[in-house]
Amino acid sequence: MSDENKAINDRIERIRQLSQDRNRPADLYEAASLAQSVLHDTVGGSHPLMANIKSALEAADWVRAGAASRGVVELYD
């Protein structure tokens, strides 16, 4: 596995841990931020999930932020 792929995989695993609905808002914020970085580094900032994450963060909607983060994990899987 290349260093870049390992770094992305490590972020995905962290998102997986942090993006559960039962987690604290700070965890969901971190998951969403990491999800944005994965999208940016892999498919670019114009991916539809990027807008969903941004909107959820701006609204402090932690349920949506977690769901969108899990969407990034699902796409990765």
Domain ranges of the chain: 3-76
Phi then psi dihedrals of residue 59, to 5 deg: -90, 0
pLDDT of residue 77: 95
pLDDT of residue 1: 74
pLDDT of residue 21: 85
Residue 58 CA to residue 43 CA, distance in Å, equals 22
Residue 2 CA to residue 28 CA, distance in Å, equals 28
pTM of the model: 0.92
What the block records as the tokens of 30 is 């971190």
Q: Mean pLDDT in runs of 10 for the chain (77 residues)? A: 91 97 95 97 94 97 96 96
Residue 55 CA to residue 60 CA, distance in Å, equals 9
